[in-house]
Chain A
Amino acid sequence: KGWRSQKGKNRGCVLTEIHLNVTDLDLGYETKEELIFRYCSGSCDAAETTYDKILKNLTRQKKLVNDKVRQACCRPTAYDDDLSFLDDNLVYHILKKHSAKRCGCV
């Protein structure tokens, strides 16, 4: 039961994909090739660990007034395979760690 409810809490943080032109990435490449860009989005509101729970409680009790503590963020925990493409001047380029493969509240 614990596992199920724990998992359900962060259902908000999910992998989403969008079909783009490489030029949409605005990284300075001139090419007509395309890609699938995958990213992580959704909320990590529900405290995932005891650590997060303690931070939340301490913030509520105003015991951490001077410190900026961050809640968990929905971020890639693994990246997609490299992407290669040929640009308009017939030069190859390779993008690494450009697209998410798995997401998590970290």
Chain B
Amino acid sequence: EPALSKGNNCLDAAKACNLNDTCKRFRSAYITPCTSSTSNDICNKRKCHKALRLFFDKVPPKHSYGMLFCSCRDIACTERRRQTIVPVCSYEDKEKPNCLNLQDSCKKNYICRSRLADFFTNCQPESRSISSCLKENYADCLLAYSGLIGTVMTPNYIDSSSLSVAPWCDCSNSGNDIEECLKFLNFFQDNTCLKNAIQAFGNGTDVTVW
């Protein structure tokens, strides 16, 4: 038991959040709508998304990123990290849309469109740079990534063994657009710039950019 709980950074981040009045308030403010079932659904997704956006807007990154980008050594930790955004409400849906269709619905919304553009700009990988990012700025990449939480493009960790993330979509039924779709999806799933940025925050390395 102590061996398992040792170094659970995600738990430590949750503790720190509840000891901070601002973080505690905005955390409860999204947990409430994201876990309240309505008459015909498990939650009101729109209210959950709005409260999640408010959480990442108002709570200092030290606390919000602490819970979202904590580094893990065991499943108890990674599962807690995956639950941060209450995925059963904010992320999962009955059906998985095609990523390009999801991108189209994102582009119809002002907030989603601008935040997706920020993400593609600030998390652009570049294999020749030391950071693996074209912009060489982890903080901007993490800000852009967390900015997507609470939009239809809400991303989350897809498994408990890696830092791979994706929005709730896939590339089935892409037809001739399969390459474009995979390119879009892989920008999330297989992005060394984003992975390095998350890792750097979790390890507390590269502290100068915060």
A interface residue numbers (CB < 8 A to B): 19, 32-36, 81-86, 90, 92, 94
Q: Please tell me which one of the listed residues B11, B32, B35 contacts residue A32 in the complex, with CB atoms under 8 A apart.
A: B11
Residues of B contacting A83 with CB < 8 Å? 18, 24, 28
Question: Is the CB–CB distance between A92 and B19 below 8 Å?
Answer: no
Please determine whether B21 and A19 come into contact, CB atoms closer than 8 angstroms: no
What CA separation (Å) do A90 and B10 show in the bound complex? 13
Residues on B with beta carbons closer than 8 Å to the beta carbon of A85: 14, 18
Measured CB to CB, the closest approach of chain B to A98, in angstroms, equals 11
Given A19-B19, A33-B15, A34-B19 in contact, is the A86-B35 Cβ separation under 8 Å?
no
| Inter-chain contacts of A33 with B (CB < 8 A) | 11, 14-15, 18
| Chain A contacts for B11, CB-based, 8 A | 32-33
Tell me the smallest distance from the CB of A102 to a CB of chain B, in Å.
Answer: 14
Is there contact, CB below 8 Å, between A82 and B18? no
Stretch at the interface among B79-87, B162-170, B195-203: B79-87
Chain A residues within 8 Å of B28, by CB? 81-84, 94
* Cβ A92 vs Cβ B79 within 8 A: no
Majority secondary structure, B binding face: helix
Residue B106 is within 8 A (CB to CB) of chain A in the complex: no
B18 touches A34 (CB 8 A): yes
Cα–Cα distance between A34 and B25 once the two chains are bound (Å): 15
Known A34-B19, A81-B24: A86·B14 in contact at CB below 8 Å? yes
What's the Cα separation between A94 and B31 when bound, in Å? 8
- Chain B 94-128 interface mask (CB, 8 Å, partner A; 1/0): 00000000000000000000000000000000000
Q: Given A32-B5, A84-B27, does the pair A90, B80 have CB atoms closer than 8 Å?
A: yes
Residue of B nearest to A88 (CB): B76
CB neighbours (8 Å) of A84 from chain B are 18, 24, 27-28, 31-32
CB of A81 within 8 A of CB of B25, answer yes
| Contact (Cβ within 8 A) A82 B32 | yes
Q: Give B11's nearest chain A residue, CB to CB.
A: A32
Closest beta carbon of chain B to A91's beta carbon, Å: 9
- CB closest chain-A residue, reference B31: A84
Contacts of B5 in A (CB 8 A): 32
Residues of chain A contacted by B35 (CB below 8 angstroms): 92, 94
Residues of A within 8 A of B18 (CB): 33-36, 83-85
CA distance A49 to B90 in the complex (A): 52
Indicate whether A94 sits within 8 Å of B83 (C-beta atoms), given known contacts A34-B15, A81-B24, A84-B27.
no
Which 4 A-B pairs give the minimum distances between C-beta atoms? A84-B31, A82-B28, A84-B28, A81-B25
Q: How far is the CB of A89 from chain B (nearest CB, A)?
A: 10
Give CA–CA (A86, B87) in the complex, Å. Answer: 13
A-B contact pairs, 8 of them (CB 8 A): A33-B14, A34-B18, A35-B18, A81-B28, A83-B24, A84-B28, A84-B32, A94-B28
Question: A94 CA to B21 CA in the complex, in Å?
Answer: 15
In whole Å, how far is B24's beta carbon from the nearest beta carbon of chain A? 6
